[in-house]
């Protein structure tokens, strides 16, 4: 496969409602869409670095720099037989996982399309439908939160995740449990607490939560092992897991009982698969996280989540939960039974709406050999 042209699109899409977390409020998402052209086929990927460095250190600007100055020059105008060979060209680039993952995703789509197979199949997926949940930001009031949860359950979502932060934790959890005694419920702190808050997490044990996501430091593994010893509810790491090495450390130290996999955070589908397989061998369940992706990134997430050890519902929701209009056709929707169909057409299995892409693009750059 000769890679003859690569195009970057800095996109800005408005969310249907602000997404509030312990990291702040987001009303828009800014990501980079990446198109790789080879042999008359276009492969698409999405880099999930955001406008600000609040979730990880990467931003749209750092990713644009790493992509255009280091990753793209390594592969443009060259011939590769496999995705593996292509990504090994940038092995010496340290970190910048989201930049790498976006470009790798476009290569997977391109190679899958050139072989006329679905991305899900090429990644080793085994499911035709995946279980999905929804991640709900911090709300103005508990009443509003309850109304939102009710509406999402009505749509079919199998699991509810709420964002928490100090001062906004036990109360909403308690209220939701009272209202919905039997739903699958989990919480995400995005690193907003310290070990001094151990009593808050002990208090959560009574509410039968599926898991507590990333309570402590965003790079911490050690202190999470101390917290996990103090509480019954499984800890799930998100931010702290950036590689297979981190995963091994976290599992060996018993810092968590569950892992959230996001291809962007770990540097691509290849590393994500290694983590998935390692967790399976250790009987650690995984689930697919989300980064408020457009339909392009979402398509890749759905394909990856079709692997066998993604046994808990993912943060992979319908297009309309995020955007008025998505940039792919068909858009993603949730079935009444809380599942989402895994596309079966070649590659990501959905078409990019090029008119829509143009409308949301704020900067575009093309690289060719
Ligand atoms: O911590 O899982 C997170 C969105 C942006 C950054 C971090 C996180 C999230 C979400 C949203 O929780 C998940 C989704 O895409 O629906
Ligand atoms: Mg999270």
**Domain presence at residue 129:** yes
The residue whose CA has the least distance to atom 9 of ligand 1 is 291
CA distance 184 to 186: 7
The token pair at 280 is 């399976």
**Segment 340-367 mean pLDDT:** 98
Per-residue confidence band for 192, with pLDDT thresholds at 50, 70 and 90? very high
**Pick from 314, 353, 306: nearest CA to 119:** 306
Residues 215 and 234 reside in one and the same domain: yes
pLDDT value of residue 19: 96
Residues 170 and 306 reside in one and the same domain: yes
Pocket test for ligand 1, best of 135, 313, 322 (most atoms within 8 A of CB): 135
Residues 51 and 82 reside in one and the same domain: yes
Residues 170 and 131 reside in one and the same domain: yes
Give me the CATH number covering residue 327.
3.20.20.120
pLDDT per residue as tens digits for the range 74-97: 999 999 999 999 999 999 999 999
The residue whose CA has the least distance to atom 1 of ligand 1 is 190
Percent of the chain exceeding pLDDT 90 equals 100
Residues 364 and 329 reside in one and the same domain: no
The range of the structural domain enclosing residue 235 comes to: 121-341
Please name the residues in contact with 245: beta carbons below 8 A apart, sequence gap of 6 or more.
none
CA distance 249 to 13: 37
**Domain presence at residue 243:** yes
Check: CB of residue 273 under 8 Å from CB of residue 307.
yes
E-strand stretches of the chain: 5-21, 24-38, 41-47, 129-131, 134-136, 159-163, 184-188, 212-213, 235-237, 258-261, 286-288, 328-329, 339-341, 351-352, 361-368
CA distance 362 to 335: 34
Q: Which ligand is nearest to the CA of 26?
A: 1
pLDDT per residue as tens digits for the range 253-276: 999 999 999 999 999 999 999 999
Per-residue confidence band for 71, with pLDDT thresholds at 50, 70 and 90? very high
Residues 103 and 80 reside in one and the same domain: yes
What average pLDDT is seen over the chain? Answer: 98
Q: Which residue has the tokens 């280091």?
A: 70
319 ligand 1 Cβ < 6 A? no
138 ligand 1 Cβ < 6 A? no
Structural domains in the chain (count): 2
E-strand stretches of 224-297: 235-237, 258-261, 286-288
Atom of ligand 1 nearest to the CA of 260: 2
Residues 158 and 275 reside in one and the same domain: yes
Residues 204 and 301 reside in one and the same domain: yes
Per-residue confidence band for 369, with pLDDT thresholds at 50, 70 and 90? confident
Check: CB of residue 188 under 8 Å from CB of residue 214.
yes
CA distance 329 to 331: 5
| Cα 329 to ligand 2 centroid, rounded to whole Å | 28
**Domain presence at residue 350:** no
Length of the chain: 369
Residues 60 and 160 reside in one and the same domain: no
In degrees to the nearest 10, what's the CA dihedral of 291, 295, 296, 302? 70
Q: Which residue has the tokens 């010496």?
A: 92
Residues 213 and 67 reside in one and the same domain: no
135 ligand 1 Cβ < 6 A? yes
Three-state secondary-structure class, residue 175:
helix
**Segment 265-294 mean pLDDT:** 98
Q: What are phi and psi of 310, to 5 degrees?
A: -80, 80
Residues 160 and 289 reside in one and the same domain: yes
The conformation of residue 196, written as its DSSP 8-state character, comes to: G
Check: CB of residue 205 under 8 Å from CB of residue 227.
no
Enter the pTM of the model.
Answer: 0.97
Per-residue confidence band for 330, with pLDDT thresholds at 50, 70 and 90? very high
**Domain presence at residue 347:** no
CA distance 8 to 362: 11
Q: Which ligand is nearest to the CA of 237?
A: 2
Burial of 291 (0-12, 13-18, 19+ CB in 10 A): buried
pLDDT per residue as tens digits for the range 131-161: 999 999 999 999 999 999 999 999 999 999 9
Q: How many CB atoms lie within 10 A of CB 196?
A: 7
């Amino acid at each position: 496969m000769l890679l003859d042209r690569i195009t970057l699109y800095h996109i800005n899409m408005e969310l249907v409602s602000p997404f509030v977390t312990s990291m702040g409020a987001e009303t828009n998402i800014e990501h980079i869409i990446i198109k790789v052209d080879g042999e008359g086929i276009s492969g698409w990927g999405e880099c999930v670095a955001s406008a600000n460095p609040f979730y990880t250190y990467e931003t749209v600007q750092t990713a644009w720099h790493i992509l255009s100055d280091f990753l793209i020059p390594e592969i443009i105008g060259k011939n590769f037989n496999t995705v593996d060979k292509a990504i090994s060209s940038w092995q010496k680039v340290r970190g910048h996982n989201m930049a790498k993952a976006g470009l790798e995703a476009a290569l997977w789509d391109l190679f899958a399309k050139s072989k006329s197979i679905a991305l899900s199949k090429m990644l080793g997926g085994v499911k035709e439908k995946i279980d999905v949940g929804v991640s709900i930001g911090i709300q103005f009031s508990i009443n509003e939160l309850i109304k939102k949860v009710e509406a999402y359950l009505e749509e079919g979502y199998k699991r509810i995740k709420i964002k928490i932060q100090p001062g906004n934790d036990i109360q909403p959890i308690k209220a939701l449990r009272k209202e919905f005694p039997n739903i699958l419920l989990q919480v995400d702190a995005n690193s907003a607490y310290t070990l001094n808050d151990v009593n808050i997490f002990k208090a959560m044990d009574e509410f039968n939560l599926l898991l507590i996501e990333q309570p402590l430091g965003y790079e911490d593994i050690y202190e999470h092992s101390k917290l996990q010893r103090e509480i019954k509810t499984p800890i799930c790491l998100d931010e702290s897991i950036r590689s297979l090495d981190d995963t091994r450390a976290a599992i060996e130290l018993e810092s968590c009982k569950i892992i959230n996999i996001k291809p962007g955070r770990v540097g691509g589908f290849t590393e994500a698969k290694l983590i998935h397989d390692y967790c399976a061998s250790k009987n650690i369940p995984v689930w697919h996280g989300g980064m408020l992706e457009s339909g392009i990134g979402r398509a890749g997430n759905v394909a990856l989540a079709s692997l066998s050890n993604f046994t808990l519902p993912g943060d992979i929701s319908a297009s309309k939960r995020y955007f008025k209009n998505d940039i792919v056709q068909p858009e993603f929707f949730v079935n009444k039974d809380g599942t989402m169909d895994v596309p079966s057409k070649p590659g990501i299995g959905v078409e990019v709406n090029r008119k829509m892409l143009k409308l949301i693009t704020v900067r575009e750059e093309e690289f060719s050999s």
